[in-house]
Structure 1
Amino acid sequence: YDTYNGCALGGCLEEAALHGLVELAERDAFLLTWYARLPAPRVDLATVTDPRIAVLAERIRQDSGHRVLAFATTPEHGIPTAWVMAVHPTARLFPAPGDPRAEPAAVCAAGAHFDPEQALLNGLLELTANLGWNRDAYREEREWIGAMVTDPDQVRDMRDHALLYCHPAAFDRFGFLLGDGPPGTGEPGLPVEEAFARADCRPRGTDLRDDLIEVVTRFTRRGQDVIVVDQTTDEHRAGGLACAKVIVPGLLPDDVWPPQ
């Protein structure tokens, strides 16, 4: 997991690098918010115009009972980034051992895009994919997950880290975002444009190179290097694709160790 971030495909190297850099922005914003417990404005999903967002959120609610919450996490670079979370109403309750109906307390995902609504949709699509396997694993490995909550040294990889927060004993660690009220409740949040007011990196040029330069500048003017490695293979070229790996050494790495 600590090596794939920043890899992307595109119709040309510039497009691949642009998507790779946006993915790094997504990862960095999520981890920065988590580690530093930064306040993040909640987004009122009723104010979005893309109907797919409401449909996916409602589908999740009907399938598992989870309520979808979203938060704008855009840091200084201004690229719209979002933290999307599925929270179950029983998040603080401990199910009976072996209960086949037990549901994860919370499952998280993130998204980024120059359009805030697309950033939300990207996060929601990732959340939808993650929720299925988290539900199955939580029911099958609940005892092991509880052991990781008690002893963080047992957390070995990203899968463990994700499953850890399915457990109700870990739910209050999200208090900096959710408060201490009933799970999934509280104020509806801010209208999407207001929540993403800080997200001012929204290139709309007709040349991908210009867009890439604008985004790269967001990082370099803060003293961060942007490195692009061309990983295009013959197979990619045969399909009319380019592959890039983007590295920004100053951003937070996607790794796991107990204090995290």
Structure 2
Amino acid sequence: MDGEKLIILPISNGAAAGMDYEKAIQRGLLELVERDAFVISYLNKLQLPKVDLHSIDVWRIDIIQDISRRYRLEIHVMDMTTDLGIPSFVTLTINRTGIGPAVLSGLKAGLDPIEAIVGSFTEALHLRCKIRMAYEDDNGRIPETTVEEINTSEKRGLWWYSKDKIKLLDFWINQKPEPLRHDFSPEGIVSITHTFEKLGEKAYYVNLTLPEFSAVGIRVVKVFVPHLQPHYLDEKYRVLGGKRLHEVPIKLGYKTAGINSYPHPFL
């Protein structure tokens, strides 16, 4: 609204589309859940459980491991599920060859944990071409960028491009793999909204569907859950004031050691 003060820099958190409003809203809610979990986990350097992919007998997980071997990538899937109880994962693709980006990450929350793991991996993988092209477009060099200058996905990806940055994620990479802890929940949006209600949180959405999309059956929304930890892209304006950032780790029994000063690796 005109004259309304800016609280945080707006990005696409919670924006989603679907063939009906229920699907679109569910996707928006799950995106908010995954990003809440990621920012809380990364900034607090939480020692998350690492998922043992070898313990999952599913063909799609087998494909992930085949791809990682073919391209000499390490795959680390971290379970970052919070007090919301909705399965949430970050997948790190680590490349120690010196060819291509060393660190990329993908996020996904979902009611089916296998689908969420696969989604987080594919998100990390499809960013490899984008960041490698940015590197080559800059004549194969990594620009000297200060942390506060990182405000685009390209700058963030190039900051994490070199192998010397991998050690900054040792607090996740070095965790011992464990069997997957979650089961599939078939209840959809009812399950998600019930979770928020139990924690006293309310979800809202705005219909953004243009007539052109409506005519072909596509619905577009922007979903908000005010107290969830926001994601951010501009390191100069990190969002550090939310209660969940500081309270959720304690609630879940994690030890914390202050706020991580390095830029997060999610593009």
TM-score normalized with structure 1 length: 0.78
**For 1:148-206, what per-residue CA distance to the aligned partner results, in whole angstroms no more than 9, with x for missing partners?**
2xx21221223322332222332222121123xxxxxx74x1122x3x4xxx7x5424x
SS in 2 for 1:120: helix
Structure 2 residue corresponding to 1:62, chosen from 63, 70, 93 = 70
Instruction: Give the corresponding residue for 1:32.
Output: 40
Q: How many Å apart are 1:38 and its aligned residue?
A: 1.0
Cα gap change, 1:62/1:136 in structure 2, threshold over 3 Å: closer, same or farther?
A: farther
Instruction: Give the corresponding residue for 2:129.
Output: 132
Q: How many Å apart are 1:139 and its aligned residue?
A: 4.9
Q: How many Å apart are 1:69 and its aligned residue?
A: 1.5
Aligned residues: 228
Paired with 2:179 and 2:155, the residues of 1 have a C-alpha distance of 34
Paired with 1:203 and 1:245, the residues of 2 have a C-alpha distance of 24
Q: How many Å apart are 1:140 and its aligned residue?
A: 5.0
Q: 2:100·2:132 contact (CA, 8 Å) conserved in 1?
A: yes
SS in 2 for 1:104: coil
Kindly report structure 1 stretches of 4+ aligned residues shifted beyond 6 Å. none
Q: 1:39·1:176 contact (CA, 8 Å) conserved in 2?
A: yes
Q: 2:112·2:185 contact (CA, 8 Å) conserved in 1?
A: no
Q: 1:106·1:165 contact (CA, 8 Å) conserved in 2?
A: yes
Instruction: Give the corresponding residue for 1:253.
Output: 230
Supply the AA of the counterpart residue of 2:211: D
Structure 1 residue corresponding to 2:160, chosen from 151, 160, 165 = 165
TM-score normalized with structure 2 length: 0.76
Instruction: Give the corresponding residue for 1:221.
Output: 198
SS in 1 for 2:206: strand
Gaps of 5+ in 1: 96-101, 180-185, 206-210
Structure 1 residue corresponding to 2:171, chosen from 168, 176, 183 = 176
SS in 1 for 2:111: coil
Paired with 1:248 and 1:159, the residues of 2 have a C-alpha distance of 28
Paired with 1:3 and 1:106, the residues of 2 have a C-alpha distance of 23
Instruction: Give the corresponding residue for 1:244.
Output: 221
Gaps of 5+ in 2: 1-8, 237-260
> Over the residues paired in the alignment, what is the CA RMSD in angstroms?
2.3
SS in 1 for 2:51: coil
Which structure has the highest helix share of the two? 1
Q: How many Å apart are 1:45 and its aligned residue?
A: 1.0
